[in-house]
């Protein structure tokens, strides 16, 4: 149905209707907005230098589609998609600390292990004893904000603490085991820590899935129109808008190749979702298969902000068939939206000359 509606929309002329309701939610401030009457798009004037640059950049970047692109240097953070972003921060004169964790997104049923350590600045191995006066899961959005689950940090080598007595104090939390975390909210771990006669508040951001939303049953792959199509057979537990992401690397995991990032509405029940690694991405890297599809994950997206996004992940790595790199198309991405964008930019450039 959605496809039909969008297809209908796409066939409509570009002439604008002045009555769309979305504009009602947007109120330009009177002093500055609409200081000039809107011009027709054909009269767009932008400096030629900037437009030439934007157009060249667009042509360069639109060799690949928006949802399937190379795992180049700027995209390799996706290979560590679930690493906690940890800041080393000043604790007191001559002391530093961090509040780290083994992951950022905690899917349903998973634990998160977090730890606190304070060390002599400049030598992270020289940790100092500390005392966690109190620690909590703090809910920071929605109803019932504030302290929700009390936490204990310990250095006894048990229950998530790797080494007893190493002055790294740990906690293992399974959010799905706590009634206080049944609703999907934004959260932080919060600790009040004392060391060397000083106290500091510390925070660790994370997300949790309050309920399971999607489970991957099977992954398969095939060549399709010069691209690598990976089909994700999954059980969807609730209808919604879902985002899927995955990385493609060489069979020995040493060569990053590409990523996919696709969203689509899904009904509840068994579904097959096609993730397309665009052929040109594989072609440009130049390595033949088999490949590994790893880091398959995603989330149910709540556009209205009524709930925090609910993440899911599929831990296994999928090994594809042994494709020859020449099986993949060298053709650039092409789509009506790309041609439309280029037309607009070229028209603006013409108008400015």
Partner 1 sequence: MRRTPVIVLALLVSLALAGEARAGNSVLHFQGRGWGSWNGEIVTQSAAWTSRTYNFSGNSRLDSADTNVVVRGAIASNCSGANNCIIVCYSAGCSRVLKAIDDLRASGNTLPGLFWIEAAGSVAGGTKLAEVATSGFTGFLAKLFGQQEAIDFDITPGAARGTWGYTQDAVPPDAMYHVAGNQDICKGFLFFKICGNQFIDAGIGDGLVGIDSASGAAAAGRYYDGCAVAKYPGRIWEPSTPCGGEARDHFGLVGRTIALLAPQINGVANDKMRVWGERLNYPDCDDAAGKCDNPASNPALDFSREPNGTLVAKDVSSATSTTTGSTAGATCAGKCGKYSGAACWCDASCATRGDCCADYTQVKCNVVNQ
Which residues, 62 to 91, sit near partner 1 by CB under 8 A? 62, 64-66, 69, 73-78, 81, 84-87, 89-90
Q: Which two tokens stand for residue 143?
A: 């109803």
> What H or E segment, with its residue span, contains residue 290?
none
271 part of the interface to partner 1, by CB under 8 A: no
- Which C-beta is closer to partner 1: that of 64 or that of 169? 64
Q: Which two tokens stand for residue 334?
A: 């092409």
Half-sphere exposure of residue 324, counting CA atoms within 13 Å on the CB side?
2
The per-residue b/e assignment along 78-94, b for 16 or more CB within 10 angstroms, e otherwise, is beebeebeeeeeebbee
5 part of the interface to partner 1, by CB under 8 A: yes
Give the footprint of partner 1 on residues 279-308 (CB under 8 A): 299, 301, 303-305, 307-308
198 part of the interface to partner 1, by CB under 8 A: yes
d(CA 72, CA 259): 10
Tell me which residue has tokens 């199509």. 229
Give the footprint of partner 1 on residues 328-347 (CB under 8 A): 337-338, 340-341, 344-345
- Which C-beta is closer to partner 1: that of 78 or that of 294? 78
Question: Minimum distance from CB of 157 to partner 1 (Å)?
Answer: 27
Crossing angle of helices 48-61 and 336-352, in 10° steps, is 160
* Whether the Cβ atoms of residue 148 and residue 161 lie closer than 8 Å to each other: no
- Which C-beta is closer to partner 1: that of 91 or that of 291? 91
Tell me which residue has tokens 């996919």. 260
Give the footprint of partner 1 on residues 200-229 (CB under 8 A): 200-201, 203-207, 211
DSSP-derived 3-state class of residue 56:
helix
Of these, 120, 121, 188, 317, which contacts partner 1 (CB under 8 A)?
A: 188
Counting beta carbons within 10 angstroms of the beta carbon of residue 195, is it exposed (0 to 12), middle (13 to 18) or buried (19 or more)?
A: buried
Bridge partners of residue 68, in order along the sequence = 260
14 to 53: interface string for partner 1, x by CB under 8 A: xxxxx-x-xx-xxxxx-xxxxxxxxxxx-xxxxx-xx--x
Question: Minimum distance from CB of 324 to partner 1 (Å)?
Answer: 28
- Which C-beta is closer to partner 1: that of 23 or that of 222? 23
Question: Minimum distance from CB of 134 to partner 1 (Å)?
Answer: 7
Return all residues near 56 (Cβ < 8 A) that are at least 6 apart.
none
- Which C-beta is closer to partner 1: that of 220 or that of 339? 339
Of these, 192, 235, 284, 327, which contacts partner 1 (CB under 8 A)?
A: 192
- Which C-beta is closer to partner 1: that of 95 or that of 289? 95
């Amino acid at each position: 149905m959605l496809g039909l509606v969008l297809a209908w929309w796409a066939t409509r002329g570009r002439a604008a209707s002045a009555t769309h309701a979305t504009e009602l939610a947007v109120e330009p401030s009177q002093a500055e907005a609409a200081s000039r009457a809107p011009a027709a798009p054909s009269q767009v004037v932008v400096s030629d230098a900037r437009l030439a640059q934007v157009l060249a950049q667009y042509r360069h970047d639109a060799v690949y589609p928006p949802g399937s692109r190379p795992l180049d240097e700027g995209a390799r953070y996706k290979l560590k998609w679930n690493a906690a972003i940890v800041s080393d921060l000043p604790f007191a004169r001559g002391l530093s600390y961090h509040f780290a964790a083994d992951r950022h997104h905690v899917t349903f049923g998973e634990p998160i292990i977090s730890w606190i350590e304070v060390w002599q600045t400049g030598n992270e191995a020289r940790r100092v004893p500390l005392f966690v006066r109190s620690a909590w899961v703090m809910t920071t959005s929605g109803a019932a904000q504030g302290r929700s689950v009390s936490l204990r940090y310990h250095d006894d080598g048990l229950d998530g603490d790797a080494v007893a007595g190493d002055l790294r104090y740990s906690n293992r939390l399974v959010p799905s085991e706590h009634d206080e975390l049944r609703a999907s909210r934004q959260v932080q771990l919060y600790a009040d820590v004392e060391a060397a006669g000083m106290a500091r508040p510390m925070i660790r951001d994370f997300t949790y899935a309050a309920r399971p939303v999607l489970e991957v049953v099977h992954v398969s792959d095939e060549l399709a129109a010069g691209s690598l199509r990976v089909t994700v057979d999954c059980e969807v537990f609730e209808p919604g808008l879902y985002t899927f992401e995955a990385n493609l690397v060489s069979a020995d995991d040493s060569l990053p190749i590409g990523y996919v990032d696709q969203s689509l509405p899904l009904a509840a029940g068994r579904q097959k979702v096609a993730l397309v690694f665009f052929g040109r991405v594989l072609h440009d890297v130049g390595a033949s298969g088999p490949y590994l599809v790893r880091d398959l994950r995603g989330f149910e997206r709540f556009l209205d902000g009524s709930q925090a996004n609910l993440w899911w992940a599929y831990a296994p790595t999928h090994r594809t068939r042994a494709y020859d790199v020449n099986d993949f198309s060298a053709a650039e991405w092409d789509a009506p939206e790309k041609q439309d964008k280029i037309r607009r930019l070229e028209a603006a450039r013409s108008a400015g000359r």
